[in-house]
Every structure is written in structure tokens, then in C-alpha cells.
Amino acid sequence: MITRFTLLPGPYQRTNRSTTQIMLMLCAALVFVALFGIVYQFTTGMMNGVYGLLIIVVSLVATLLVDLLTAVITKQKDLKKFVITNYSYVTALIFALIVPASTNLWVVAVGAIFSTVIAKAVFGGFGRNIMNPAIAGRIFVGITFASFFTAATISTVTTGATFMADTNLSWNNITTMVGAEGFDWLKVLFGFYNGAIGETATIPILVACGVLSFFNVIDYRQPLFYLGTIALIALFIGLSNGYNAGEYVLLHLSMGGVMFGAVFMLTDPVTSSTTSTGRIISATLAGLLTMLIRTKANFAEGCMYSIALVNVFQPLIDSFITGNSRTNLSKNIIAVTACAVIAVGVGSLGGYYPDVAPVSSGDTTTTISTPSTPPADPFDKKVPSAAFTESVADGTVSITATIELYKGLISKVTYAGGIGSDLFTVNDAYTAKYITPLIGKTVAEATALDLFSAAALPTEDIVADATGTANCLYLAIKDGLSKAPELYGTGTSTTLNTWVYIDLDADGKIATVEIFNDKGIEGEYFPTIAAFNDKYVTPLTGLTPTEALALPAYLETTPETVSTGATHSGISLFNAIKDALGA
């Protein structure tokens, strides 16, 4: 027997750990996180759950097909090995978990293919891509196919996009974010709300983070410093703007896919630095970018863009890290500390809004009922009702309804509160009977509907087992309608648009006049137009609309110029009030 001596390079004893093993553990964690999203989808409807699964399947199949194609084109000898060690299925899984849950399936396929081919294979396959492929794919479909994020086959419950986009929330204003009753944090933290399948379940993602870090599948430094930077910036923004800081921090950490990005995308080793220092610096910078995009660009998906940006800058950051980590330790500590201080400082300053009136914490309900900040669109007006509470068998139900008006017509009725998932069981039948008929009507028309003109609660038990909830909701909607403005008018002059909402009290007398113009509520208006206000607005209170129109001031076709330098404001407001009063 001739002995053959191996001349393979050493060492000849090696760790049992393999990259495939790492990737499979990552996949297991992704599946665990996706479970929560899928289960939520099923709670909103059988079809929605199936659709969520279909997104994952389509993404995986499309990716595997192009992977095979890549293998054939690049003349790989071992197709199976190539597909397994190219790890595109991880990309496919991540991509499926970050697209809105109602995206058209062919858009999912296109995005997955873009991820694997353009963002990965073109650069030389696994280990050589410069940007996280799943993020690249998500940005691509986000820019190109955003209008296909809502598939026609899906019921309106899963409205798509992320939760943030769905509810028109603004990162700069906690009052519009948290809502009258606050979030149901339990639901939010476990992902029971609309959004991408994988991004919503904050607590399960954190659990996955812990397990993956323990087994060294991901580097704990990256989520720690990324989320830490975000939390600190959010804390300082919260404190400086007078929000409920704790809730504001929690909101930033649990919304917009930050947690998912921190654990599954920022930690992608291929696009990360190989050095601890480099990883911490880029994670900190990503945290800063996320917060700047959120507060300055007012964009829900700041997380995704920030990670893509630091991915691209990684080689530059790496080129500054030289020598060894022992003798350069103090240098690295200084670099990391400086980076963290600058990031938190810049981020906090960037999110400070001196114009926004402070909102005292713990007093959100009161503040909400008299909004002190303008809606983003002056045509939009949200009128929250008071909370209605009723004892039911398994506790107390408390519900707030919000009537949203658009150009004086009811555009949307939303509600918050309730216990457990009873609101979801209320949903379909109740919506059909009590909410859908309101849409598109004026407040006066809605109030006049038979449904709401009755003084007593509806005797019809529409929703079995949720009568208390249904009753609360009924009362809340009714209250919301009673608080909604009854009169709405627009007025223009050559350079300015003005809108008014006039609220009538129970006797049909004018109670308040709310004014918006192009510059926002009370923008530059009141200081210069005080004299106009005295003559044209203040006298309206206490009059019926007919009496108001009969005032001498409103008998003219144009108002008298009473305020120097504010002629156009005066004219447009005059027109708006006349419009609202029905002239």
C-alpha cells in the first residue's frame, strides 16, 4: 500500500462551526420571528395568512431559480453546493419578511430576483456584495413599485406598507402617534398590527437577538450600539420636546422595522466590518442616520436606508482601522466614544422642535381633545371622541373613536382601546353597519342618519360576545360626531388659501371658528391681523350661521382692509368664513 501524504495547508484541527450552520441558525431565527407575523395575518383573515406564506414561498422560489441560473451561467461544477453555499435563501427569507404584507406577488418575485442578481451575484456572489442584498431589493421595489404594495386580492384590513405609513404617523409628534388611549403596547411589541411580516414582532426579535448572540451567529455589538444610539437620541428628543420620553423611546425602537434591521440586517457579516471597532462605529452612525431620516425627512423606513448607507461606507471606515487591537486600544476607544457622542449630539439636536408646543406627559387625553398642533394637511381634521367605558363580563371596555374629515366630509372612522382582540371580532359586521354608511357624508348628514339619531343604545346585537365593546364604540362614534365641525369653508385670495371649520353648539350657535392657511394654523396670521380678527371673527360666536351672514361686516363682497400688510390674509379668510356659513 502506497501512503499518500496530504499537503493541504494547516492547521489540521479546526472548529466544528461552519458558515452553513451559522446561516441555518439565522434562518431558524427568521422563521421564529416570521411566525408571529403570520399568526397575526391569520387572525385578520384566513386569506391574509395564506397570502403572507405565499410571499415567503414566492421569494424563496424566485431566488432559488435565479441562483440555479447563475450557477449554470457561471459554469459551476457542483450546482447543489453552489446553491447551498451561496446562501441566497437567507436573502430571500429576509426580503420576504421586510416587504409589506400585501405586496403583489410578482413584485415580491422581482424584488427577490433584484436582491440576488443585481445586489449579490453581479458583485461576485456570497461574501462579495457591498450592500445588504435584501435591503437593496426592498429599496428597489419601494422606489419602483410602491403602488403595488397593496394587492387587490387582500381585504382592506391588511392595507399594506408599514404600520407607520399606514397610519400617517409623524415621528416628530408623539401626540398624533400614540393616539388618545395610547398604543396597546402588548399588541405592538408582539407584532399584532399591520406591517411587513417579519418586522413587527419586537419582543420575539429581541429574543432571537439574544439567542443568536449567545451562539455567536450575530455580533451583539451591532444591535447594542445601533439601538443604543437610537434610544439615546429618542430620549433626548423626547425630553427636549416634552414628550412622554419613555413611550417615545419605545416607539422608536419598536416601529418601522428598526429592531428587525438591527438584528438581522445590520449584523450581516458580509457587509459589516470585520473589526469590532469598525462595527461599533458603523452601527452608531446607522443609528444617527435612522433618527435623522425619521425626524428630518419624516420617513418611516429610515432604518433600511441608514443600513444601506453605512454598508457602502464600510470599506472607508475599515481603512482607518489598522495595527492591532491591543496597542491601538486607546485610539479605538477614543474613536468609538467620539463617534457615539457626536451621533447622539447631532441626532438629538436634529430632532429638537422648539416650535412644537410641549405636551405634558400623562395628560395625553386632555391634550388630544384640544389639538395644539396643525394636521399635516389642512383639509384633514381628526376629531377624537371622549372615551366611553362599559363593564363587560371579562373586564372593562374603554373605547375612543376618531372621526376624520377631509374637505368637510367624513373620510375615515378609527377606534382604539378595547380588550384583547375583541375589536377584531367586532370588525366586519359592525363596520358594515355603523361605520361604512358614514363615509363621504358631512357631519350634519351623518348625525341625521337613523342609526345615530336615536337617543338609546342600539338594541340589535350585531356582534355576539362583544356587546359591551359594540355599545362603547357606538357611543364613541356618536360623541365624535357631536364634536366634529359642522361647517367647513375654503377661501382664496390671489396669493393665499384659507380654510375654516366652524363648530356649532347644541343650540345651533357658533361655538368656535378654527382657521388654517397655507402657513399653518395661526401661522403668521394672528399677530398681523388682530384688527381683522376683532371685526370679522370674534363677533361670530354665539350667533347662528344665518345671523352671522346677516352681520353688516359680511354683507360686503370684499372685506375692509383693516390690517396693514395682511390684505390677502383678510380677503381669503373673509371668503372662507362666508363659504362655511353657506353664502
Partner 1 sequence: MGILSSRRKLHIHSNKDWISPQVIDFLPNEAIKLLYFPLVSPRGTPAEQFVQVGDFVKIGTKLGVHKDWYVPFYSSVSGKVIAVEDRFHAGLQRAVKHLVIENDYKETYEAPLKTVSNLSSPAEIVDAIKEAGIVGQGGAGFPTFMKYGGVTGISDILINGVECEPYLMTDYNAVKEKTRLLVAGVELFLKASGARLARIAIKENKTELIATVEKALKGRPDIVVTRVPDEYPMGYERTLIQEVYKRDYNVLPKEVGIIVNNTQTAIAVAEVLLDGKFFTHHYFTVAGDGINRNKIFYLPNGVAVNEIIKVAGGYTSQDITLLAGGPMTSRGLGNDTFAVLPANGGLTILKRHEYQQVECLRCGTCSRYCPLSLYPVEIMKAGEGKNENRLRKLEASRCSECGICSYVCPSHVDVTESIKKAKLFLRIQDQKKANQGGK
- Name the DSSP letter for residue 524: S
Out of 37, 49, 111, 125, the residue judged to bind partner 1 by CB under 8 A: 125
* C-alpha dist (Å) from residue 478 to 167, 369, 444, 473: 22, 15, 12, 8
- CB atoms inside a 10 Å sphere around CB 317: 19
Among 198, 266, 273, 424, which residue sits at the site for partner 1 (rule: CB under 8 A)? 273
Handedness of CA 516, 517, 519, 522 (dihedral sign): negative
The Cα 170–Cα 376 span in angstroms is 9
> Using the rule CB under 8 A, is 126 a contact of partner 1?
yes
Rounded distance between C-alpha atoms, residue 150 and residue 364, angstroms:
33
Taking CA atoms, 247 is separated from 109, 182, 327, 344, in Å, by 37, 9, 42, 19
User: Is 506 a residue that touches partner 1 (CB under 8 A)?
Assistant: no
Nearest distance, CB of residue 219 and partner 1, angstroms: 7
* Distance of closest approach, residue 4 Cβ to partner 1, in angstroms: 5
Q: Which stretch, 106-114, 186-194, 213-221, 372-380, contacts partner 1 (CB under 8 A)? A: 213-221
Q: Which of 41, 70, 103, 272 binds partner 1 (CB under 8 A)?
A: 272
Q: Does 120 bind partner 1 (CB under 8 A)?
A: no
- Measured distance CA(573)–CA(537) in Å, rounded: 9
Distance of CA 251 to the CA centre of its chain: 10
> What is the number of other CB atoms lying within 10 angstroms of the CB of residue 531?
15
- Residue 222, all three cell numbers: 451591532
Nearest 5°: phi and psi at 148? Answer: -100, 15
What SS3 string covers 155-167?
Answer: CCCCCCCCHHHHC
Q: Which three-class secondary structure string do you get for 343-399?
A: HHHHHHHHCCCCCCCCCCCCCHHHHHHCCCCCCCCCCEEEEECCCEEEEECCEEEEE
Give the residue, chosen from 48, 103, 311, 332, that forms a contact with partner 1 under the rule CB under 8 A.
332
The answer to whether residue 5 forms part of the interface with partner 1 (CB under 8 A) is yes
* Residues near partner 1 (CB under 8 A), total: 54
- Is residue 324 close enough to count as binding partner 1 by CB under 8 A? yes
Instruction: Indicate the residue among 126 and 183 with the shorter CB distance to partner 1.
Output: 126
Tell me the chain's radius of gyration from C-alpha atoms: 29
Q: Measured from the CB of residue 10, what is the shortest distance to partner 1 in angstroms?
A: 6
Decide: is 557 part of the binding site for partner 1 (CB under 8 A): no
Name the segment binding partner 1 (CB under 8 A); options: 195-203, 271-279, 338-346, 461-469.
271-279
- Provide the minimum distance between the beta carbon of 318 and partner 1 in the complex, in angstroms, as a whole number: 7
List, in order, residues 6 or more apart from 573 with CB less than 8 Å away.
Answer: 491, 498, 500, 515, 517, 525, 529, 532, 536, 537
By CB under 8 A, tell whether 279 contacts partner 1: yes
Is 210 a residue that touches partner 1 (CB under 8 A)? no
Determine if 323 is a binding residue for partner 1 (CB under 8 A): yes
Nearest to 137 by CA among 315, 310, 308, 313: 308
Q: Minimal CA–CA distance to 424: which of 388, 463, 385, 391? A: 463
- Per the CB < 8 A criterion, the answer to whether 310 and 249 are in contact is no
Give me the helices (H) in 264-301, please. 276-296
Three-state DSSP at 515 gives strand
Is the N-terminal amide bond of 315 cis, ω within 30° of 0? no
CB of 133 to partner 1, least distance (A): 13
77 binds partner 1 (CB under 8 A): no
432 binds partner 1 (CB under 8 A): no
| Candidate list 75, 77, 316, 322; residue touching partner 1; CB under 8 A | 322
Task: Give the whole-angstrom CA distance, residue 159 versus residue 315.
Answer: 39
Q: Which stretch binds partner 1 (CB under 8 A): 45-53, 69-77, 216-224, 463-471?
A: 216-224
Interaction of residue 156 with partner 1, rule CB under 8 A: no
> Between 280 and 529, whose beta carbon lies closer to partner 1?
280
| Residue 333 in contact with partner 1, rule: CB under 8 A | yes
The region of 174-182, 185-193, 324-332, 448-456 touching partner 1 under the rule CB under 8 A is 324-332
Q: Are 401 and 385 in contact (CB under 8 A)?
A: yes
Among 80, 128, 407, 519, binds partner 1 (CB under 8 A): 128
**What's the closest the beta carbon of residue 341 comes to partner 1, in angstroms?**
16
Stretch that binds partner 1, among 14-22, 157-165, 440-448, 571-579 (CB under 8 A): 14-22
Q: Please select the residue that binds partner 1; options are 187, 221, 483, 568, rule is CB under 8 A.
A: 221
Task: Work out whether 362 is an interface residue with partner 1 (CB under 8 A).
Answer: no
Binding mask 21-50 for partner 1 (x = CB under 8 A): xx----------------------------
Binding-site member from 6, 147, 453, 459 for partner 1 (CB under 8 A): 6
Is 85 an interacting residue with respect to partner 1 (CB under 8 A)?
yes
Specify the residue, 330 or 370, whose C-beta has the smaller distance to partner 1. 330
Q: Which stretch binds partner 1 (CB under 8 A): 263-271, 346-354, 385-393, 496-504?
A: 263-271
| Closer by beta carbon to partner 1, 32 or else 123 | 123
Backbone angles phi, psi at 565, to 5 degrees: 80, 5
Q: Which is nearer to partner 1, 5 or 393 (CB)?
A: 5
| Residue 329 in contact with partner 1, rule: CB under 8 A | yes
Contact status: 12 vs partner 1 (CB under 8 A): yes
- Residue ranges binding partner 1 (CB under 8 A): 1-15, 17-22, 81, 85, 125-128, 216, 219, 221, 269-277, 279-280, 318-319, 321-327, 329, 332-333, 336
